[in-house]
Amino acid sequence: MDKYVPPYEVTEEILLLVSEITECLGGLVPLGEFERLPRLRRVNRVLSVQSSLAIERNSLSVEQAELVLEGRKVLAPLEDVLAIQNAFAAYRLLPDLDPFSLDDLKKAHGVMMEGLVQEAGRLRTGPVGVFDGEGRPVHVAPPPAMVPSLMEQLFRWLRASGLHMLVRSSVLHYELEFLHPFQDGNGRMGRLWQTALLASWKPIFLWVPVESIVHDRQEEYYQAIARSNRDGKSNPFILFMLSSIKEAVLGLERDARSHLAHLSRQVQALLSVMEAYPMSASELMDKLGLKSRATFLKNYLRPALEAGLISMTDPGSPRSPRQRYFKA
């Protein structure tokens, strides 16, 4: 086989969803505005990671996943904690990865599955399948000898296709689930790589927690994969993913505008006077023209710290006379 074209059909329903998502993206706050919301970015990254792994039966809650991100210990199975740590590392890599590169997909898998499987970062060398609760095969992936060629052809198609990225990324996601190119971790890699492809089109997708919508609709997700398998084309899965992406984008729009609306004039003034280097409380008060330290702490500094908009150079000693502040 010299050229593999994944089976799908672009329908009016798919085109309508693409148009609706594109329109929704136009309603998002600009990326520069969104960068003023580090707490929201952090929450959404935690949601993406925790939701994607919860689909794989990882036991950690959102709150526990956030503690792991902070480097704190949680009471949970070590393998589940490692999976969360690995996933955070893989998502952090996304801006430096080429989503059209099979080598970079394998590199990301190596990070995602380090310490969890023997073949982390390599295409599988053995058979795999998906089984139901009674051990019956639901889907048997292609033989391992075919996987390298199929993956090379799939990525050639990915690079050459002129299909809209919303659809192309959904097709690629489905194909990773169908081919099961890795020993384990195929589901989380499919979700990660769709995010990588969408972010190559619109960088805001680095912070759109599509995975949380998929987790909320997990049974539909599996049904869409099963229907696509039966139909011999990925249309049911494409429609499912596009509707999930639309819901996630609308959610981000609501959250971002709500967070921006709650930024007080005082906090915005504080951010506007901060320089590129860490500054002391006295320096910031001088720039703001404030005399009362109590007013500065109550209305400016503490709200900005609580919102995650600024950080301390010495968070372990908040009252240190050498404390300095910088934009998060």
Condensed to tens digits (0 to 9), the pLDDT of residues 166-175 reads 999 999 999 9
Is pLDDT larger for residue 86 or for residue 135?
Answer: 86
Confidence at 194, pLDDT banded by 50, 70, 90: very high
Cα–Cα distance for residue pair 217/220, rounded to 1 Å = 5
- Picking from 245, 261, 277, the residue at the C-terminal end of a domain is 261
* pLDDT(317) > 70: yes
Question: Which CATH number fits the domain that encloses residue 127?
Answer: 1.10.3290.10
Contact yes or no for 227/236 (Cβ under 8 A): yes
User: Do 152 and 253 share a structural domain?
Assistant: yes
User: Do 294 and 224 share a structural domain?
Assistant: no
Structural domain span for residue 192: 12-261
- Spatial CA neighbour of 144 closest among 122, 115, 118: 122
Q: What is the mean pLDDT of residues 28-55?
A: 87
Cα–Cα distance for residue pair 259/36, rounded to 1 Å = 10
- Picking from 261, 284, 318, the residue at the C-terminal end of a domain is 261
Going from the C-alpha of 251 to that of each of 64, 114, 257, 318, the distances in angstroms are 23, 32, 10, 34
Predicted pLDDT of residue 135? 67
User: Do 242 and 272 share a structural domain?
Assistant: no
Whether 2 maps to a domain, the answer reads no
Render pLDDT for 255-304 as a digit per residue (tens, 0 to 9): 888 877 767 788 889 999 999 999 999 999 999 999 999 999 998 998 88
Cα–Cα distance for residue pair 243/257, rounded to 1 Å = 22
- Spatial CA neighbour of 241 closest among 180, 326, 165, 152: 165
Q: How many domains does the chain have?
A: 2
Predicted pLDDT of residue 262? 67
CA angle 185, 191, 193 (to 5 degrees): 95
Lowest mean pLDDT of 82-96, 211-225, 254-268, name the range: 254-268
Q: What is the mean pLDDT of residues 218-238?
A: 96
User: Do 143 and 52 share a structural domain?
Assistant: yes
Render pLDDT for 174-192 as a digit per residue (tens, 0 to 9): 999 999 999 999 999 999 9
Burial of 23 (0-12, 13-18, 19+ CB in 10 A): exposed
DSSP 8-class letter at 276 = S
